[in-house]
Amino acid sequence: MPRRKSVPDPLDPHERAMLNFARSWAPFGGGDDEIFHLFGIPISVFYRRVLALLDKPRATRLDAPTSEALKELCARKLA
């Protein structure tokens, strides 16, 4: 059986962690209290960066409904 080639993650580990955090905390309102502690950036910067990551659908590897939900969360947080 041929081995599948692993595809390198187009996101760096920090970007992947941000996206995973946003996805995990979205159902609970975003986890704002943890963002600065975990990522060392203000909340608004975090959500702007997540939005930028979501503009790379192949990179995020998220299904469309999840991506849209995260975009809506980011938009609410940045409003």
Report the distance separating Cα 12 and Cα 59, nearest Å. 10
CB atoms within 10 A of CB 70: 22
| pLDDT at residue number 18 | 95
Write the pLDDT tens digit of every residue in 51-74: 999 988 777 788 889 999 999 999
What does pTM read for this prediction? 0.85
- Res 1 pLDDT > 70: no
Tens digits of per-residue pLDDT, 5-59? 666 778 889 999 999 999 999 999 989 999 999 999 999 999 999 999 998 877 7
For 26-53, letters b (16+ CB in 10 Å) and e give beeebeeeebeeebeeebeebbebbbeb
Residue 31: what are its φ and ψ, rounded to 5°? 70, 35
Q: What is the pLDDT of residue 62?
A: 87
- Domain locations in the chain? 13-78
